[in-house]
Amino acid sequence: MAKKILVFSFLIVISLSVFCNEEERTKMRPQDRLILDLFVDLWQDKPENIDTEIYNRGVSITLFYDYPLGYSNFSLAPGVNFTSHNMYSNNWYKYSFSNDKFDFVEIYETLSYEKNRIRVNYIELPFEMRFRSRTDRDNPHSFRFALGAKFGYLVHANTRYIGEYYIDETPENNKHKREVAFKEYNLDNINNRRFSAISRIGYGNVNFIVNYQLGNTFKNNKAEDMHPLSIGISWIIN
């Protein structure tokens, strides 16, 4: 689906570029420098015993330096970005002393819980090739299309669990359970670096985004093939 969207968007850009070349040219001023993205993650290549929720929300905020290319409708935009992903699932992400690593462990069916998620935060360096149908900055009514990539570095990760928990961790050893709420930090078996393809298309200040991570989030555990496809809405603040 993502490939079809990108091909269709590219054809629109070519058509608009031809149309714009017939109009009087004005040099484009820098635009789209502060952008807020709200998205959901569709986790790819999940193991059979890991079920994620449909609504795995995330947020991203990016500061760009927009560099117009002469009198064309195109510009280049490097930037700096903060992105936060959340994955809600039926598995704890916890340390195994026997295996000496962090891994996903399925929550017992006899336990009920309100929340179970893992969060990963990145600082990233994005780079975009942009097209806008109008070159005047004062007019927000412009078709926009951007395609690019970003390199990210993991700066924080934690888990959060709210629900029932066996005191001795297993129902076989202890039948008693209690309500708990806890967070765990200093997680391991998560890749520190990542590389993603990014795209944005829309009209005016509200755009549609599709980002695809070209690599795995976890390493050396049962979820080592998992990576997110992010789909959402982008707001151009400035």
Rounded CA-CA distance 211/213 in Å is: 7
Contact 70, 27 (CB under 8 A): yes
- Assigned domain for 189 exists: yes
Tens digits of residue pLDDT in 131-176: 998 877 666 678 999 999 999 999 999 999 999 988 766 666 556 7
- Assigned domain for 71 exists: yes
* Number of domains composing the chain: 1
Rounded CA-CA distance 124/121 in Å is: 10
The letter for the amino acid at 85 is H
Domain coverage including residue 205: 2-24+34-236
Tens digits of residue pLDDT in 57-73: 999 999 999 999 988 89
DSSP assigned state of 214: S
Rounded CA-CA distance 42/33 in Å is: 27
- Assigned domain for 108 exists: yes
Structure pTM?
0.85
Long-range pairs, 167-171, Cβ under 8 A, ≥24:
170/108, 171/108, 171/110
CB atoms within 10 A of CB 125: 13
- Assigned domain for 29 exists: no
